[in-house]
Chain A
């Protein structure tokens, strides 16, 4: 991919991709890193052969970059269990950009299995209905409903500051 094509992609999609990364990572600084990684991968791998770059493809690459970053950060720093309740109590009042808040959400996302997380993200970040999620992923409508219930139950437990709620 040449520089002119890369620049065009950035102007057209860069803001939307950065916005999505910021929502997943809850940090503008990490979103900047993720955006850079997305475009490095775009430059290196290019779009699927014979196809052009689409927003859907970029969102998939961005999501993988963000979850790779979340997984990597999990190895470096995890929430101390003894501090979990104190952190959870700040959860509801903290805003975007609060690093402890971001760490809590990341720990939640890191612990949720990939399929449940994918369905949760499509429904709550992309705003798709359960039928639309099923059509997009190929999962049955029943599976989507079941997984979404698990995702929301875990999120609810974390929101309520349940220190024993371990995402599975």
Chain B
């Protein structure tokens, strides 16, 4: 096996790690001010040296790449996204909700399905899409078609407060946490009809896109669900006490 430094060259390189040393990742968290340095870091020349090297390198980087210059380039690269009128979006879906309440959204069964708790009342997952140039969003039903550049927003109807995550699997099997974006745990959500904040812009990855909305009254981690989807992207993920709704869309070429 080649030296790991040859595969992922880092400057400064990782320190030698003894049996009591934290991982280089933990030292980077300390350098970022997220964790306090332990007494070991002060006593260990390798860990302490790595921490000092990171801190010095960051100071040098910030001097050579000034923050104002970087932020100005961000503004030039991409303008702020157009704001949705959430009132307009809710008005669009309100009459549809009455009809959709009678519809059944297919949940793909998993062979070793964990015990699923059904909340009383309607649990619904809706995807709204706004194409570039369009003035009104459209509701995407199962089998709807997406195109790169479409902006998506998600609406859920829940019978009570709890925790929610929305996961996406594209045609290449890549799994992404859409809500809360790239998080490791589900986000709190209120009961009732909720238009989730933020929007997702569809990329040009191959389709189809499958979206899973996962609700649970209690908090839950996303790592096991991501692992399930990466093992078999075609099977709906499951977890104890979770309710899952899925929607599958084709991708326009």
- Chain A positions within 8 Å of B, measured between CB atoms, are 3, 6-7, 10-16, 18-19, 23-24, 26, 36, 39-41, 43-51, 54-57, 60-61, 64, 68, 71, 96, 105, 113-115, 121, 124-129, 132, 136-139, 152, 155-156, 159
The answer to whether residues A40 and B67 also contact, given A19-B10, A136-B223 and a CB cut-off of 8 A, is no
Q: Is B174 an interface residue (CB 8 A)?
A: yes
CB distance from A94 to the nearest CB of B (A): 10
A36 touches B17 (CB 8 A): no
A127/B17 contact (C-beta < 8 A), A13-B32, A156-B2 known: yes
- CB-nearest residue of chain A to B55: A15
Query: Would B180 and A36 count as touching, CB distance under 8 A?
Result: no
Contact B58 A16 (CB under 8 A): yes
The 8 closest A-B pairs by CB, nearest first: A48-B180, A138-B223, A48-B183, A127-B24, A15-B61, A15-B58, A126-B25, A45-B181
Q: Which of B9, B28, B71 is A10 in contact with, Cβ under 8 Å?
A: B71
**Given A15-B57, A127-B24, also A156-B180 (CB < 8 A):** no
* Complex partner residue of B2 from A126, A139, A159, CB under 8 angstroms: A159
Query: Chain A: which residue is nearest B31 at the CB level?
Result: A16
| Besides A19-B57, A64-B176, 15 other A-B contacts (C-beta < 8 A) | A10-B67, A12-B33, A16-B54, A39-B74, A45-B198, A46-B181, A48-B182, A51-B183, A61-B182, A114-B230, A124-B4, A128-B25, A138-B221, A156-B2, A159-B2
State whether B61 touches A7 (Cβ < 8 A). Answer: no
Within 8 A of A (CB), among B34-74: 34, 54, 57-58, 61-62, 65, 67-68, 70-71, 73-74
Q: A36-B74, A49-B188 are in contact. Are A137 and B173 (CB under 8 A)?
A: no
Question: Is there a chain A Cβ closer than 8 Å to B161's Cβ?
Answer: no
Give the CA-CA distance A40 to B203 in the complex, in Å. Answer: 15
In whole angstroms, what is the CA distance A10 to B231 when docked?
A: 35
The answer for the CA separation of A137 and B14 in the assembled complex, in Å, is: 22
Q: A50-B187, A54-B34, A127-B23 known; A114 and B173 CB under 8 Å? A: yes
Q: How far is the CA of A72 from the CA of B10 in the complex (A)?
A: 24
Given A26-B9, A50-B187, A152-B1, also A129-B23 (CB < 8 A): yes
Write out the residue numbers on chain A whose beta carbons fall within 8 Å of the beta carbon of B230. Answer: 114-115
Question: In whole Å, how far is B198's beta carbon from the nearest beta carbon of chain A?
Answer: 6
The residue among B9, B17, B54, B80 with the most chain A CB atoms within 10 A of its own CB is B9
Question: How far is A6 from B80 in the complex, measured between Cα atoms in Å?
Answer: 14
Instruction: Tell me, yes or no, whether B11 is within 8 Å of chain A by CB.
Output: yes
In the complex, how many angstroms separate the beta carbon of B57 from the nearest chain A beta carbon? 6
Of the candidates B2, B67, B180, the one whose C-beta lies within 8 Å of that of A49 is: B180
Question: Which residues does chain B contribute within 8 Å of A10, judged by CB atoms?
Answer: 67, 70-71
6 contacts between A and B (CB under 8 A): A15-B54, A55-B29, A115-B231, A125-B4, A139-B227, A159-B6
Of A6, A10, A68, most B-chain CB atoms within 10 Å: A10
**A95 to B: closest C-beta gap in Å:** 8
Q: Is B77 an interface residue (CB 8 A)?
A: yes
Q: A36-B73, A114-B175, A156-B2 are in contact. Are A127 and B25 (CB under 8 A)?
A: yes
